[in-house]
């Protein structure tokens, strides 16, 4: 197995007599089990590096990203993405920070698999579409984590985040809901080739996506509950924006049911979405009526003016003809 994973630009190559770094098996091409997810002890070795220094953590993530960007093998790419998901879900702050710092700015750690293609045969071509999908899902998760200040994973502690949610401004609350709905939209953009889940790597990716989907639902639900508490104080624009987000969310439901068909459904979440939508639409319509009445009142005030009587000559005498002259409107 080739252990020279540091040979990429910016990293000195390892000496041939040096012991291989613990993450070498993950970033090297699989030679015996290409269709299997990364082994537990390999993942554990990567996660252990997060308990060391920041330079070591940076080198670890750089090696995996270099492998991801440098391969044209769909199986290798999926292994890299699955490994990175382990980092997001279970890694230390130092290790995760090496990932979360870059996507927003589009730096070198941006996954950049939107154009990935493995055209060796029909199977690898189909698997490539799942590589692109899962890469987009992970990217949306990391981008959301920068805005929310919390990673979307089963290990996220929602109770510690509740105080932060209640202290948010309405505009910030809507921004967070918007980015969370973006994760759900990426999840729903999965390829139509659902039969590919027979592939162990794709099955693993979908399984992790299901876990993150449930975590995303929890994050959205906490914020929708806060929106319900504030709904009477919402402006017309805020109610309209919330309604648009909820419509986008509901448009994803049918496809997500197809993707996670064998997994437990979260009907309580969708009940909350539906109830919040009804309340947001009512508040939006009430706000629209208030705006309409207010505009009408201002219009009447602008056109109202004092009646002026003009003296008009008629039949040789002056008749008083009442004529209302409206002042020019601005």
> Along the chain (330 residues), what's the average pLDDT of each consecutive run of 10 residues?
36 43 49 76 94 92 93 96 95 88 53 91 96 96 90 76 86 96 97 94 96 95 94 88 96 95 86 94 70 46 49 47 47
- CATH 1.25.40.90 assigned to domain 24-302? The reply is yes
| Per-residue pLDDT at 294 | 44
Q: Where do the domains of the chain lie? A: 24-302
- Confidence (pLDDT) at 102: 54
Give dist(CA 298, CA 4) in Å, integer. 74
**Is residue 312 within a helix (H) or strand (E), and if so which, with residue range?**
strand 308-314
Q: How far is CA 21 from CA 45, 91, 144, in A?
A: 9, 18, 31
Instruction: Give the separation between CA 266 and CA 260, rounded to whole angstroms.
Output: 11
Q: How far is residue 44's CA from residue 24's CA, in Å, rounded to a whole number?
A: 13
Positive or negative torsion for Cα 65, 55, 146, 43:
positive
Q: How far is the CA of 291 from the CAs of 141, 171, 236, 296, in angstroms? A: 38, 20, 8, 9
Q: What are phi and psi of 311, to 5 degrees?
A: -90, 115
Distances, alpha carbon 197 to alpha carbons 40, 81, 207, 225, 320, in Å: 21, 16, 10, 35, 91
């Amino acid at each position: 197995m080739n252990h020279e994973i540091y040979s990429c630009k910016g990293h000195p190559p390892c000496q041939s007599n040096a012991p291989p770094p613990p993450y070498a098996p993950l970033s090297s091409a699989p030679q015996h089990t290409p269709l299997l997810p990364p082994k537990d002890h390999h993942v554990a070795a990567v996660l252990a590096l997060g308990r060391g220094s920041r330079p070591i953590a940076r080198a670890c993530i750089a090696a995996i990203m270099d492998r991801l960007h440098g391969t044209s093998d769909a199986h290798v790419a999926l292994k890299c993405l699955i490994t990175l998901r382990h980092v997001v879900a279970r890694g230390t702050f130092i290790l995760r920070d090496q990932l979360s710092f870059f996507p927003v700015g589009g730096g070198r750690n941006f996954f950049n698999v939107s154009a990935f293609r493995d055209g060796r045969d029909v199977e690898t071509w189909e698997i490539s579409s799942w590589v692109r999908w899962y890469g987009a899902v992970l990217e949306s998760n990391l981008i959301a984590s920068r805005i929310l200040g919390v990673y979307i994973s089963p290990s996220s502690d929602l109770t510690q985040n509740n105080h932060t949610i209640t202290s948010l401004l309405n505009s910030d609350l809507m921004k967070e809901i918007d980015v969370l709905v973006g994760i759900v939209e990426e999840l729903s953009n999965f390829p139509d080739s659902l039969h590919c889940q027979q592939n162990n790597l794709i099955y693993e990716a979908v399984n992790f996506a299901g876990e993150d989907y449930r975590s995303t639902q929890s994050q959205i639900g906490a914020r929708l509950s806060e929106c319900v508490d504030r709904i009477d104080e919402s402006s017309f624009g805020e109610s309209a924006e919330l309604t648009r987000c909820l419509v986008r969310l509901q448009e994803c439901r049918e496809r997500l049911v197809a993707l996670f068909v064998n997994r437990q459904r979260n009907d309580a979440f969708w009940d909350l979405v539906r109830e919040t939508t009804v309340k947001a639409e009512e508040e939006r319509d009430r706000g629209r009526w208030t705006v309409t009445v207010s505009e009408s009142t201002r219009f009447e005030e602008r056109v109202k003016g004092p009646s002026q009587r003009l003296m008009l000559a008629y039949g040789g005498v002056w008749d008083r003809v009442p004529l209302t002259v409206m002042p020019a409107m601005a």
